[in-house]
């Protein structure tokens, strides 16, 4: 009997914990007792009169406007409010922290500050959304806060800038996942870079103003960045023009600014940059009184660019006002963020670095989409960095998969699991075709940068390597490897078909459509390559010619896809090398045996 009771208790706790795992980002502390209550139909909100307008709107969204005096008690407030006074000791004394409790008596959401309350309501909304499925709400106690104070994205890539609609969507996504920063700095925005002295035309200014308003509504700090380093003159006239441009953005509602000096041909003078930024900091940023600390991106923004002879970074560390943030990408432009690197750079720039992580950006090779796991970020980003922003792809919807995990990693560094977060992110973005989307992502996650390869096609990597090695040496292979590869190629083809007709996220599916098509084509080429090798092994001339012709047709289909839509590389780490290598060996062996001269397909 005791054993049965223990089993039931364990089962309840396991189910309860599983339910909490859907929260993103994962809270710092969760206590559950396995009990549930019927999801309230209406809510009696206590503390309504003290809420800021945007928090009130978040609350109403959370409860679907179902409020009334006879509803289930929902107590909301921030530290110091009378309505949550008895929960004061429960509220974490952390910026953006909150306390949330669901019991059979009431629900309470108490923030350490307004943003903490906003985030607490977002967590409650997730709990209520989960409860909709079975009309029951878990009794839970959550104490939560972010590990990294400043978390978000930097639209800092080269190539096609995001549309206004995409930016609005990204701001909403950041808010939903407790990211608090959006830096606007697309390299190909002329008024950010090439025409930085000129004000934005009226239509573009109105769009930026609406972005700023949306970000403020969603508790996201909108940072506008200017990139003057290509042609700035180090004189009073250009200095005043830069301040005037910042003032024009201030008038549009911007209250956070950055100045970029990355990737410039001229102006790489640390002393001049520091003098200019100190002037802006003292006479504009600090003088305004309602503007967040200034951010700068240096010309030497990673250790690979560091040169002790020029002492560029050392000069910034010595001369730049200590409250100005300095951005940093790590060992190189593309790199993991490690404790050793963070420790090293702090001694050089005399402050914690503001991390600009170049992932999932693909402007160095935009025929790819980075859809793999987010890993390679040491937990020390919580203690040794002042901020963390990820640089996404020009494909905003596809970038959300990585942003989802960045939100998880920067909020709660200790409980983060890259694989679980990746799976949950896929389910969140495309719930009606999760397995098919996962297949695409597994085979679309490698860079073309030798020093920064990412995991891709791991499920068949060993099978492909074994097959190639044995085939080269003996002309044969293990049936186990052949079957595993064949099954995966079938899965790829079926996944491409399913994604072609999926409906739950039209914007995402539109962006990734070329890669979906490429997935299906490479799947077929993989399958035909296996049969090509089998035909050579059996010395079956008719099957060989049939498979070879189909392989040639599929390659032409791929070329047409790249011409009509866009180049879409997929499976570059395992699948493409397998198809190329095995097909070449098979054709060469067939030619040798039959004294023919069929050319290689690849």
Tens digit of pLDDT for each residue in 477-494? 999 999 999 999 999 999
* Stretch 135-139: mean pLDDT: 90
Residue 423 exposed, middle or buried by CB count within 10 Å (0-12, 13-18, 19+) = middle
Three-state DSSP class for residue 351: coil
pLDDT-based confidence at residue 67 (cuts at 50, 70, 90): confident
Task: Assess whether pLDDT exceeds 60 at residue 16.
Answer: no
Cis ω before 64 (30° cut-off from 0): no
The Cα–Cα gap between 388 and 406 comes to: 9
* Stretch 136-157: mean pLDDT: 97
Tens digit of pLDDT for each residue in 373-391? 999 999 999 999 999 999 9
CB 373 within 8 A of CB 345: no
Three-state DSSP class for residue 489: helix
Instruction: Report, as residue numbers or ranges, the catalytic residues.
Output: 263
The Cα–Cα gap between 425 and 508 comes to: 13
Tens digit of pLDDT for each residue in 95-125? 999 999 999 999 999 999 999 999 999 999 9
Q: Which among 282, 296, 299 has a CA at the least distance from the CA of 325?
A: 296
pLDDT-based confidence at residue 4 (cuts at 50, 70, 90): very low
Sign of CA dihedral 118, 98, 12, 104: negative
CB 225 within 8 A of CB 235: no
* Stretch 573-584: mean pLDDT: 98
How would you classify residue 359: left for phi > 0, otherwise alpha for psi between -120 and 50, otherwise beta?
beta
* Stretch 28-50: mean pLDDT: 92
Average pLDDT, the chain: 94
3-state secondary structure 113-142: CHHHHHHHHHHHHHHHHHHCCCCEEEEEEE
Where do we find the tokens 């905003």?
396
The pLDDT value given to residue 267: 64
Residue predicted with more confidence, 2 or 437: 437
pLDDT-based confidence at residue 50 (cuts at 50, 70, 90): confident
3-state secondary structure 364-428: CCCCCCCCCCCCCECCCHHHHCCEEEECCCCCHHHHHHHHHHHHHHHHCCCCCCHHHHHHHHHHH
pLDDT-based confidence at residue 566 (cuts at 50, 70, 90): confident
The pLDDT value given to residue 17: 41
Which stretch of 42-46, 220-224, 295-299, 563-567 has the lowest confidence by average pLDDT? 563-567
Beta-strand ranges (E) seen in 462-547 are none
């Amino acid at each position: 009997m005791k054993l049965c009771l223990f089993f039931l208790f364990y089962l309840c706790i396991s189910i309860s914990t599983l339910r909490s795992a859907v929260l993103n980002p994962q809270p710092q502390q969760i206590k559950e007792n396995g009990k549930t209550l019927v999801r309230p139909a209406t809510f009696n909100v206590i503390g309504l009169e003290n809420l800021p307008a945007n928090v009130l709107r978040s609350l109403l969204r959370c409860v679907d406007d179902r409020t009334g005096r006879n509803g289930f008690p929902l107590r909301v407030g921030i530290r110091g409010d009378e309505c949550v006074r008895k929960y004061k000791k429960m509220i974490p004394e952390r910026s953006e922290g909150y306390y949330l409790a669901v019991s059979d008596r009431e629900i309470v959401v108490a923030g350490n500050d307004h943003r903490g309350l906003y985030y607490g309501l977002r967590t409650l909304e997730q709990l209520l959304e989960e409860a909709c499925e079975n009309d029951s709400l878990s009794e839970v106690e959550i104490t939560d806060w972010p590990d990294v104070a400043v978390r978000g994205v930097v639209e800092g890539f080269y190539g096609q800038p995001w549309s206004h609609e995409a930016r609005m969507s990204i701001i909403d996504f950041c808010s939903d996942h407790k990211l608090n920063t959006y830096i606007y700095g697309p390299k190909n925005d002329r008024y950010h870079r090439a025409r930085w002295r000129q004000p934005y035309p009226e239509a573009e200014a109105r769009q930026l103003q609406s972005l700023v308003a949306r970000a403020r509504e969603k508790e996201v700090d909108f940072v506008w960045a200017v990139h003057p380093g290509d042609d700035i003159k180090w004189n009073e006239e250009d200095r005043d023009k830069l301040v005037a441009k910042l003032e024009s953005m201030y008038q549009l509602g911007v209250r956070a600014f950055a100045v970029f000096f990355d990737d410039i041909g001229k102006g790489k003078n640390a002393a001049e940059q520091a003098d200019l930024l100190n002037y802006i900091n003292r006479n504009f940023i600090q003088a305004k009184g309602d503007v967040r600390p200034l951010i700068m991106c240096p010309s030497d923004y990673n250790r690979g660019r560091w040169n002790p002879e020029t002492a560029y970074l050392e000069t910034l560390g010595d001369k730049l006002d200590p409250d100005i943030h300095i951005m940093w990408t790590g060992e190189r432009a593309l790199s993991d963020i490690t404790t050793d690197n963070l420790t090293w750079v702090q001694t050089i720039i005399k402050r914690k670095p503001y991390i600009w992580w170049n992932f999932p950006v693909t402007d160095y090779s935009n025929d790819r989409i980075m859809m793999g796991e987010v890993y390679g970020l040491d937990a020390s980003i919580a203690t040794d960095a002042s901020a963390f922003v990820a640089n996404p792809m020009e494909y905003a919807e596809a970038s959300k998969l990585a942003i989802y995990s960045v939100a998880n990693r920067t909020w709660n560094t200790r409980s983060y699991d890259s694989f679980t977060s990746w799976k949950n992110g896929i389910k969140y973005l495309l719930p009606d075709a999760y397995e098919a989307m996962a297949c695409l992502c597994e085979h679309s996650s490698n860079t073309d940068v030798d020093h920064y390869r990412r995991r891709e096609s791991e499920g068949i990597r060993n099978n492909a390597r074994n097959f190639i090695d044995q085939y080269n040496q003996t002309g044969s292979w293990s049936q186990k490897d052949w079957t595993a590869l064949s099954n995966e190629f079938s899965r790829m083809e079926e996944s491409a078909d399913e994604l072609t007709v999926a409906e739950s996220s039209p914007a995402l599916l539109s962006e990734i459509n070329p890669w979906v098509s490429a997935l299906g084509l490479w799947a077929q080429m993989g399958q035909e390559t296996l049969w090509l090798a089998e035909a050579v092994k059996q010395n079956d001339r008719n099957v060989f010619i049939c498979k070879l012709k189909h392989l040639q047709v599929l390659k032409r289909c791929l070329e047409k896809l790249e011409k009509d839509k866009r180049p879409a590389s997929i499976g570059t780490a395992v699948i493409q090398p397998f198809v190329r290598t095995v097909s070449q060996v098979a054709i060469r062996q067939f030619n040798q045996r039959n004294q023919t001269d069929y050319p290689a397909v690849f």
